[in-house]
Structures are given as C-alpha cells and as structure tokens.
Structure 1
C-alpha cells in the first residue's frame, strides 16, 4: 500500500501510519458513525458543514488502509461531502452558489461522459452489454439475465434508453429547466435499479446526492427557490472549457511537430510503395555487420534506445533504427489496402538503400517486428549475418495460444478507441506511462510526444487489423531459413503463456535446419516491454546479442578457412 500513488509523500505516509493503528482506526470509525447519525438529524447549523468536512477528511485518511475512495460512489460521496461542507461554512451567497454550480456541472459530466464512452463500444449499441453484465459473478443477476434472453427487444430498448439518458443529460440546462425532473427521475431510477439488481447500494445514495444541486442550478431565475442565484461560475466554467480546448489543440500541434521533425541526424528513404521512412544511423565504421532494428506494434524505434546506445558506443557494430510508415516522421504514401507484405517490402527496400552491399546485416525485431524480419530473411538471405528475435510474434499464435486469442479482440477495441479519442485532441489528458521515464533521458520527451499523438495509434490499429486477419488465416508451418538466429524471450511472457514458449522453440528449429544455429534465451524478471525499456534487462539482451554475433563471426571465419583449404586441396 505504501507503493500507491497517494503514498509517495513522506508526510502523508507518516499520517497514514498514525491512523492505521487498530485503536486509532476504530476510534475514527466510531466517531464517523456518530457524526453520520448527527448529520441525519434536522437542522441547518454550520455544524453540519463541519460534519461533512470531517466525514470526507477522515475518509481520505482511512483510504491508505481500507482502500475506500477508489470506486465512483466513494468519489462522488467525498465530492458532495467536501463541497457542501465548504458551502455551509461559507458566508457569502456568491461562494455558495459557485460551489453548488461546481457539483451540478460535475453531475452533468459524470452522466454525459459515461454515456458517450458507452456509445463508442459495440456492445452498448448492439444491445449485448446488459446481458453480458447480468452473466457476471460480481454484478450479475440470473433472473434478470433470463429476462434479457426471453425479451431481447425490451432488453435492447432499456440499454438504448439508458444511453440516451446519459448522453443527453446536459439538456437539463435547456428549456428553462423543464427537462430537469424527467432526467433526474430517470437517473434516480437507474441508480435504484442498479442498487437492487447489481448490488451497487452506495451508488443508489451517492449519485442522487448531486441531484438537488442539479435542480438548483437548472431552475429558472424567476423561481422563488433560486431568486438571486449567482451564475458566474457557469460562465467561468464555459470559458475554462474553451480555453482548455484551445490549449489542447496547441499542445497537440506542438507534439505533432516534434513527432514529424525526428532527430537532427534523421534521414529519409522512399520505398517501392511510395512510403517515406525516417531512419537514424550511428556507430563506428567497420566491417562488422550492421544491426537494423524493427519495432513492435504501436511502438517506437526509440524503444530500442538502451540496446542501440550499447552497440553504437561499445562495439564495432553500426546500428540503424527506423519508423514504419505512419509512425513518427515516416509517412505512408500507399493508397492500397494495408497488408503486412507492405511493411516487409519497406524494410527490404530500407536495408538495400541504407546498408552498403559489402556489409552484412543483422535484423533485430521486437514483437511484430520479429515476424517482419523473418519474412524479410526469406527474401534476402545473402545479405544477412543473423536474425535476433525479441519476444517475437508468431503467425500461429492466435490459433494455438488461448491467451493471445483472448487478448486479440480487446487489443483491437483498445487501439480503435484510443486512436479515436486522441484524434479528438485528448492526448493532452494522457498520463505519462512509467516505462517512458525508464528510457534513456534524451529519448523520453520525443517518445511521450509520439505516445500522445494520434498517428501512432492509427498506424497501430491499421497494422493490427492486418495481423489479426493474416494470423487467423495462417495454415501450415514456417519454412526453413538458412540464416542463424537468436530468440530472446521475456520470462513473464513464457511464464504466463507456456504455448508462446513452444512457438519460440519451433521458430528456433526453423533456423536449425542447416545445423545447430538457432537458440532461445530467457531474460529472468522481464516482461514483453520492460525487456527493452528497463536498462538492466535491455543490457542483458544486448550482451546476449553480442555473444551471438561473436559466435557467428567465429563460425563464419571457420567456414571461410574451410572453404579456402578445400580450394587449395582441389
């Protein structure tokens, strides 16, 4: 619990330690119960304001131990208690009105945003959401589920009515408040039904606690109950909303510029499909093979930063990293429907254009990038010194792995939703993932700019639809490859999905057809992403790659000597 976000502050942890003792906790709960009873008694004194603040404050104190406050009902209860407590203690009516407007706006947002988010999902539109929820063990109800199956049209009508109520809830502020009672009645009935059917009893009391504020702020100004109401808070909220939208547009434009600009050393190459690929090179000039890195789905070339830096500054190998069409500063010029073969063509064109013909190439692919480099290896084995797969995709994984198959649909939905939301300018609201700050410092801001830009998610969605189609239709086995290979797997990947480890070994055997030149190594503790983004795991992978390259160089040297001796004998 001390690792939770709210416990980062040392002072807050000290307070939590004090209130987490058994006697103190029991005393706080007993006092809360007494104050709650007092709040139910008649009266309008300022003591009620103090009681509301006490309840919300102690709830926050106890959250570190009891974890209350993480559900919507707890958040709403805290919001209402805190704001109404301050409003009761405020002396100026203008301050009270501003606080009541705040809750009214929050209530409207809670319904409207929830409705529009549901509307994006297929299940709420096609009417399968309610039966699906009723089948769950946590929130389900067998009698209600049977009713949804017996009367599917009624079930669908109930879902669409709920959607309409939530999406259109802001209309309570239209028509002089004439829509207030119907909407509040519908919302209240919704919470009562959820309380009895789904067991969400606290929702039944928490959300309707905001309804009086909605009624107060939507009433016409000539109504006796709202005479003299100060509405400046609503105007200020509208102004802040407009300012927020404008600011998000500016931030999105700035981040898009950073994404498209690339690095000072970035270069571009145009492929046979008219796609313009941005790439970077680095490392010493030598005869050692050049490492070309191919990133995974909805990923960035900078994900390889720990490994590329390790090779560029600590080995004889030069490195090339690039962004596929649609990612970063790479642009997709092709008008044809996307297929994985397009990215395979692009990678082949990049290698032939960027790496001199007298230099051997080692292709390094992570996740989907692993499948792409395998397909390239089938086309140009004469140019390759080796392949390095980092937790690679396998064309049979959706058929043989239950875990991969179960996650396929969720991934498609996630990519679709995120791409759509970010296109609307919500990238400014995205929190900074922890893995971004585990990359080398010089790469973090550019990676975060890509992560919050719609281009990455749109390209990821386009690629995943092609992957899902081709992997689902895959039949047969992968053909043998003469190029030596190293497969590096993350321990958490193979632990959570043993079938994936079997697929990795099958891939290794594909490369062993010409001798024992394929291997699988596992990085302990790493997961699919941290094997690249965390320095300790990435450096471990780099060392395994270096050992593999050194062994292959010796192997090639032995082959060269044997060929020379054979020629001399002849």
Structure 2
C-alpha cells in the first residue's frame, strides 16, 4: 500500500520547473524542430528546381503570396542558393541552441529561427505544417524572454505560450468532438487508410481490436478537450496530461510520419509545467501571474466586441435595403424582396430564386443588367430564414414550403396581367421547376443557372460523396456562428467580385448564423427528398433554358446527362402538347419543344459560384437569358398570329 501511495504521489504531483529551466527546455525542443526542418529541405533541394514541389514560379502564384509585400520579400530569398544558404544558417543556429548555456544571445538565435521560418513560409508552401507554426510561436516567446532582463516580462511570455498550448489542445479537441467521425470512432481507421498519413499495420489493428481503437480515440478526445483542467487540483494533473500529450505526438511521429511533431508540440509543455506549479512552491518563487488576469480581460473584451459586431450585422441584415418590401405567405413566413426595372412594361417579370446558403444579392450582376438595360421588371427575394426574411411557421421544414412561398410571392407581388420568367440558381432551380407546375399559364419560361437535379444524389457519385461534406460544413458554420465567432470569419475571395455596393451586406449575411441555420434546414430536406426521388421529372408546360457552368459539366459528366433530362422535360411537354387534335400548335410549352426554345448553354471558364459572382461570366449568362427571352417573345407573337389565322380560316369555312 505504501508503494501505491508513493506511485500515486509521483504521478499526481506538480512538475517543479523553474523559469530558466522551462525556457531552456522549450527553446532546445523548438530548435530541434527547426534543425530537422532545415535538414529536410537541404536534403530535398531538388524540389526547389523548376518543376519541383517548391518551384518559386509556381509558389508565387499561391494564396500565401497574393499580398504584394509578401511576394516581394519572399522573392528576395527565392533563389535556390539564397534559400539553401538560409537553411544552412538555420541548421547551424539550431545546433548552437542545443548546447548548454543561458546567454542572451540564445534569445537572438531563437528570434532568427522564428523570423526565417516566416520569411520562407511562402517559399515552401509544401512541406510546412503545424509543427513549424508551433516552433515559431515558441521561438518568438523564448527569444523575447531571453532578451528581457525583467522577471515579470519573462513570466508574461511564458504564460503566453502556456495559454496558447491550452487553446491549441482544447480547440483541436472540441472541433474533433463536433465531427461525427471522432464520435463514432471511425476517424483513426480512416486516417490509417490514406496514402499520405496511413499505416496498413495500424489500420489492421484497428479492425482487429475495434473496441480498443474506440477507447484510444475517445481518450485522445478527452485529453484535448479537457486539457485546461491541468490548472486544477494544484498542478497534480499536470504529469498525466503532459505524458498523454507526449505519447500522442510520439505516436503521430512514428505512425503518420510527422517526425517534427515529437519535438514541436512538447516544446509547449515546459511552460505549462511552470505555470501549473502552485505559486507557493520554491521552484517558482516570485512568479508573476498577472498575465492570466490580463488574458481574461482581453477575452472578455473580445467576447463583448464579437457580440456587438454580431448584433450590428444582424440588424443590418434584418433591415434590408431602403427599397426592400415584405410579403406574408400562407405559412405566415415574411419574405423580404426587392423590385426594379420597367414597372409598366408588358414584358415578363423576372423572378430570381437563390441557391442553398446563398443570397439574393448573388444575382446582382444579372439583375442590374436587366434593370438598367431592358424593359423587364425584376423581383429578387430571400427565402424564409435568409436575409431579412423571417420563418414564422413551426412545422417541420420541407421543400414544398419554399415552393408555396414562391408561388404566393409571384401571385401577390406581380401584377395579374404580367407573366413571369422564373430564374433559379442551384437549389433555386429545383424550386422554380416545382413552382412552375403551380403557376401554370403565369409562367412564360424558366431559366436554370447550374441547377440542382432531384436525381443527382442517386446518380452522381461526385454529388453523393460531397453531400456529407456539405452537410458537415453547414452544420459546423451554423454552430460556430451561433457561438459568436462571426467576427473571426475571413472574407471569401468571391465576395469581392460582386458589385461593390453589395459586398458588405452579403458579408454581413454570411457571418450571421441565420443564413447557415436556414441552409442546414434546407439541406436536410434536400437529402431526404432527393434520395427518395423516383427518377421521373414530370413534363413542364413552359420553355426552359439551362445555363451550365463549364467546370460543373467537365468535372462531372453525369451532371450533363441530368441537365439533358431536365431539358427534355420541357421538350417532352412540347411534344405532348404541341400537336392538338385539330393538328394545330398548342400552347407556349409546345413551342418550347418544337420551336427550339431554350436548351442547354455552357458558360466557358465558369464554376458553380463564379457563374454569378464573376462579372464576365454573369454578363454572359445575362446575354443568354436575354436571347432566351427574345425567343419566348417571338414564340408568343407567332402563337398569336397562328390563333388569329385559325380564326380567319374558321370564319371562311
């Protein structure tokens, strides 16, 4: 029993590390990480040659080099000989830092290593990883601590690294916990089956001992999620947690080939050990813990700022544009919509229906074109839950609800003497198809912009595989934004390709959890209904035009076949209705099939999103829509002439 008490005391006791010792261990481990990194690049120097993984002519086009200043600074060291000389000097400095000593020059060496890692980051897009980032963080903090003569300043830097370590583990753990694969214990076998990080032997072990594999994965989750509890119980949990973390990184090094992980992340641990020792312990006598209070104040300020920004953005989203209006549907949903263009023209009104997790402003290049240059009026709206539109109904969501809302909107805001052309992008294409059957003769035509097809999840392997990733992305975004992280959301590149007047409002919508909550609700309904689709599209009694993005049909040939079927649904209606019992032409739908209206057009160079957000692609789509509208107008004139001719012939007979 006495030995068990000794063992428990040894395991559950603080790690008495002094300030200087914590600094020394951390800087040596981080130096070992950099030494390994530079030796790898020196050994693989052929990758710097033209055509290699780190060819600068290719690297300078990467997102990391988009900033002109970064590109110029990186370009200054991009020459092969300069790059190799930097790595050689880094290796020499790293080796020097492994030697004993407490000189302030060690601080300069650590700062040199961290600075050159940043300098070479854009140069080495391939080969850098989280271990290099951790080493840079530690080297920056230990370097500045070494150069300082103030114990309080040193402690502030040590606390900074310790807090970063807690954030790193806890954030990683909670993100894993949100993912389904870690909860159902399929993550480890999945990784072990990959070519890059996998291990056939370990994968076979996970299949042979699934329960052990499950316990192991859940143990990693528990260690990461609960890492901050090392500061509880007077430091008695420090040894178990640090030992578990070291074991995790060593396993990563041997099994996944991430050798630098074995030194990079453990370089954080001495700071954790130093800061978890009770302040009364002689090893940390005089430790300054004010950094914790400062961090708490900064965290509180950050939370307050995040909440204020979220409230301001939500208010802007709900307010809408100065010209926005509201319409209440049969479900009680309040739809916000905007109108523009020729109010008293006889031309059909274009009604735009956006895609999943998208905004009505995505159509701005196209709608502005029609408002400013044609006689067509335009109506664009946000579905319930998006933008300033409110979902009031409490019944479980089905796609039919959005179809009902669209039908009500058309009947309620478009004058009864004017027909409509429904324009839908992505999921909006499926919604307008269903609404067209409800609206009947009110519909003059349909325009599908890279539309969803109800059979795509059954027949397109690419779409089916991407469905889960999309579901996870939307769910995670919805959760994170509800937690107030919208202020941290980066501005997507596509947003700055929209007309300038729309960018801030669109960004406000994308940082608002309401958009992602609505997208999550819709995607769940899409998956359920699309996977149960019986494979038959009913004939559509109006001409239709499908505008496809080139990358969509190039990357997924099945998608083009689906588009063909959708186009035939319009033609089939024409072939069915186009020939009446008296041998004459039928309605406008018949002309869609027999008169050559619509069909499929491809916008070269575009993808699913840039079809709308890229000005040249959107303008090309607008041109195709205008041509289609001209054909619809001509077909209507021909139909009227045909009817008049039949009447004259009837009178003569």
TM-score if structure 1 supplies the norm length? 0.98
User: Which residue number in structure 2 is paired with residue 401 of structure 1?
Assistant: 460
CA shift for structure 1 position 8: 4.1
Match of 1:473 among 532, 537, 552: 532
User: Which residue number in structure 2 is paired with residue 525 of structure 1?
Assistant: 605
Q: Is residue 100 from structure 1 mapped to residue 158 from structure 2 by the alignment? A: yes
User: Which residue number in structure 2 is paired with residue 245 of structure 1?
Assistant: 303
Q: Is residue 563 from structure 1 mapped to residue 653 from structure 2 by the alignment? A: no
User: Which residue number in structure 2 is paired with residue 274 of structure 1?
Assistant: 332
Q: Is residue 22 from structure 1 mapped to residue 80 from structure 2 by the alignment? A: yes
1:62 and 1:469 map into 2 onto residues whose CA distance is 48
CA shift for structure 1 position 68: 6.4
Q: Is residue 485 from structure 1 mapped to residue 544 from structure 2 by the alignment? A: yes
1:156 and 1:176 map into 2 onto residues whose CA distance is 31
2:113 and 2:536 map into 1 onto residues whose CA distance is 64
User: Which residue number in structure 1 is paired with residue 577 of structure 2?
Assistant: none
Q: Is residue 199 from structure 1 mapped to residue 279 from structure 2 by the alignment? A: no
For these two proteins, the number of residue pairs brought into alignment is 570
User: Which residue number in structure 2 is paired with residue 375 of structure 1?
Assistant: 434
Q: Is residue 336 from structure 1 mapped to residue 416 from structure 2 by the alignment? A: no
CA shift for structure 1 position 4: 3.7
Contact in 2 for aligned 1:139/1:199 (Cα 8 Å): yes
Q: Structure 1, residues 15-72: CA drift from partner, whole Å, max 9, x if none? A: 3222121221222122111111111111111121111111112222222222268411
Contact in 1 for aligned 2:406/2:435 (Cα 8 Å): yes
1:298 and 1:9 map into 2 onto residues whose CA distance is 29
SS at match of 2:122: helix
Contact in 2 for aligned 1:306/1:535 (Cα 8 Å): yes
Q: 1:388 to 1:121 in 2, by over 3 A?
A: same
Contact in 2 for aligned 1:252/1:453 (Cα 8 Å): yes
2:543 and 2:124 map into 1 onto residues whose CA distance is 55
Q: Is residue 347 from structure 1 mapped to residue 406 from structure 2 by the alignment? A: yes
Runs of 4+ with >6 A deviation: none
User: Which residue number in structure 1 is paired with residue 34 of structure 2?
Assistant: none
User: Which residue number in structure 2 is paired with residue 175 of structure 1?
Assistant: 233
1:154 and 1:272 map into 2 onto residues whose CA distance is 55
User: Which residue number in structure 1 is paired with residue 570 of structure 2?
Assistant: 511
Contact in 2 for aligned 1:39/1:51 (Cα 8 Å): yes
Q: CA RMSD in A?
A: 1.3
Q: Is residue 141 from structure 1 mapped to residue 199 from structure 2 by the alignment? A: yes
CA shift for structure 1 position 241: 0.5
Q: Is residue 539 from structure 1 mapped to residue 619 from structure 2 by the alignment? A: yes
1:156 and 1:367 map into 2 onto residues whose CA distance is 39
1:247 and 1:367 map into 2 onto residues whose CA distance is 35
List alignment gaps of at least 5 residues for structure 1.
Answer: none
Contact in 2 for aligned 1:291/1:317 (Cα 8 Å): yes
2:622 and 2:455 map into 1 onto residues whose CA distance is 27
Q: 1:197 to 1:391 in 2, by over 3 A?
A: same
2:198 and 2:273 map into 1 onto residues whose CA distance is 32
If you compute each CA radius of gyration, which structure gives the higher value, 1 or 2? 2
CA shift for structure 1 position 7: 3.0
Q: Structure 1, residues 221-262: CA drift from partner, whole Å, max 9, x if none? A: 122221111111111001100111111111111111111111
TM-score if structure 2 supplies the norm length? 0.86
1:232 and 1:81 map into 2 onto residues whose CA distance is 22
User: Which residue number in structure 2 is paired with residue 256 of structure 1?
Assistant: 314
Match of 2:180 among 109, 112, 122: 122
Q: Structure 1, residues 488-543: CA drift from partner, whole Å, max 9, x if none? A: 00001111111101111111111112123331000001100011011111111111
1:261 and 1:507 map into 2 onto residues whose CA distance is 37
Contact in 2 for aligned 1:195/1:202 (Cα 8 Å): yes
Alignment of 1:448-463 (within 5 A): 448-463=507-522
